[in-house]
Copies of this chain bind each other. A is one copy, B any other.
Amino acid sequence: MPTYSIGLDFGTESVRALLVDVATGEAVATAVEAYSDGVIDERLPGSTNRLPPDWALQNPADWLTGLERTIAAVLAQSRIDPSTVAGIGLDFTSCTVLPARADGTPLCEIPAFRGERHAWPKLWKHHGAQAQADRVTAHAAARGEKWLARYGGRISSEWLLPKALEIAEEAADLFEAADRFVEGADWVVWRLTDTLARNACAAGYKGTWHKQEGDPSHDFLAGLRPGFEALYASKVPRDVVSPGTAVGHLTPAWAERLHLPVATAVAAPIIDAHAAVLGGGVAGPGTFVMMMGTSTCHLLLADAERPVEGMAGVVEDGIVPGYFAYESGQAAVGDLFAWYAQHAVPPAYHAAAAKEALSVQAQLTSKAEGMGPGSSGLLVLDWWQGNRSTLGRSDLSGLIVGATLSTRPEEIFHALVEATAFGTRAIVESYTDQALPVSSIVAGGGLTRNAMLMQIYADVTGRQIAVAGAPQASALGAAMLGAVAAGARRGGHDALTDAVARMAPGPARLYEPIEANRRHYDLLYREYKRLYDYFGRGGSEVMRTLRGMRRRM
């Protein structure tokens, strides 16, 4: 009789459950439940006060309701014997963090605090802590904290330290009342198992934790604000566990509520994008993973920790125990194409798209198909949101060169696609320059549906690209963690790599570099890199100057 694992994928708007056969990875059933309160960015539930701009909260009750309903749904759909469910794994947006009491009660569920906005979980895209983030970065730079380089020299407002400091500064009583600051993923596991641990993935990428060096020092935190050292001293869980480690088993109450055995193992969770590495079939060095959506997240496993230019983070045991997991990113990819389609494509193209029931981007793609490398005569620097990866500069901006009166929209679109591929190649080279091998690429996310784009990426990077075969790669990755937690006595590296090898489907599609195109793109990439160095490394500071003039006017 088969054994099953349930992967729970907690996204921004909803949670998905995926019931998977542990032996084969076959997806037996799936269900999605939207959060009742969704993203709370206007008013707290039951309140009429408007939240400040840039705020984004969630209701932790939605997470529990969502997992209960989706698990019930996949059990009902599949009609399997619930006693054959051996494990549960979770992936989660991050850094989505909440203050809680020592018994796990979120502060927002305590009546006295329910109307306090700082009592609620701050969603990953809560941007209210930008001032705190800037101060954390500046303070770390001033003290020469060496961990700053692991994050490309910049602490994001989305991460733990700024979000916790925002509470400490703006709601000191709540900071005081919070016995724990917990990632949403860890809080759900805490609820299910009555055991609190800190997952290494979120801790490392978003919580400034390092396996050898631990957390930032008491002195560093006290220097930010007297008393803030309490954060790591007592409020953040001390027990850090790598993804797939069995944190515990379902409590009797939760076993009953979910109609699952109390023996069901619950795995240490993982960040959603990182779960897709596993679901995409990657569990070892040499394969570069791209999750391509509005922005692109790049992940690479390697044997060693090295100073990769502009990386967003590197975490030992962050994805697969025993490996260092590197993360980089391109801030505007799908967002850049969407900007172009919305703000710079003329009516005739919109009309043609509507007539053929295509998106404008699909229409542009159909007109651009068959264009060769450089045939637009255009070259683009894809820095519409700055370059936060290899160059680590948010003050850069987009550039288009080569326009003539005969330039047409599909040519601009083609050049924008090429530019994002060049940006990816620059990131790949930031790894290979450090002798971290990248022999092939696995891609996931919405943009993989664009075959022209994928071929350009293969031609530009000169590497085979496999489109991940699992339609729900993150949920599958989470289910793999559940399988490992259930099955492996020793847990860890081998169990997870075995699970990935066994449970990941083959690629949906393969794109091989076309040799003639690759050679042309080598020439064009050389030109791209010249512009990249000139505008990105101090040859010209015009982008920074223009941003400054724009702010001042």
Which residues of A are at the interface with B, using a C-beta cutoff of 8 A? 332, 335-336, 339, 342-347, 350, 371-379, 384-385, 397-405, 407-409, 412, 520, 523-524, 527, 530-531, 534-535, 540, 542-543, 545-547, 549-550, 553
Contacts and interface: CB of A to CB of B under 8 A. Distances in A.
Nearest to A534: B540
Chain B CB count within 10 A is highest, among A342, A343, A376, for A343
Contacts of A384: 403-405, 407
Given A377-B550, A549-B374, A543 B402 contact: yes
Contact of A553 (B373, B401, B412): B373
A388 to B, nearest CB: 13
Given A384-B403, A399-B403, A403-B400, A374 B343 contact: no
A144 to B, nearest CB: 32
Nearest to A377: B550
Contacts of A527: 542, 545-546
Nearest to A336: B405
A546 B377 contact: yes
Nearest to A350: B347
A253 to B, nearest CB: 47
A401 B550 CA distance: 13
Given A385-B404, A397-B404, A401-B542, 15 more contacts: A332-B405, A344-B345, A374-B550, A375-B549, A375-B553, A377-B549, A398-B402, A398-B403, A402-B542, A402-B543, A402-B550, A524-B549, A530-B540, A531-B540, A531-B542
A375 B550 contact: yes
Contacts of A523: 549
A404 B409 contact: no
20 contacts: A339-B405, A343-B409, A371-B553, A372-B553, A374-B546, A377-B546, A377-B549, A379-B546, A397-B402, A397-B404, A398-B402, A398-B403, A398-B407, A400-B400, A400-B403, A401-B546, A520-B553, A524-B549, A527-B546, A534-B540
B379 A405 contact: no
A373 B549 CA distance: 8
Nearest to A402: B546
Contacts of A374: 546, 549-550, 553
Contact of A399 (B339, B399, B534): B399
A524 to B, nearest CB: 7
A399 B398 contact: no
A335 B452 CA distance: 32
Nearest to A401: B399
A343 B403 CA distance: 12
A546 B534 CA distance: 17
A535 B405 CA distance: 18
A344 B398 CA distance: 16
Contacts of A345: 344, 346
Nearest to A523: B549
Given A534-B540, A540-B534, A553-B372, A405 B377 contact: no
Contacts of A520: 549, 553
A433 to B, nearest CB: 23
Contacts of A550: 374-377, 402
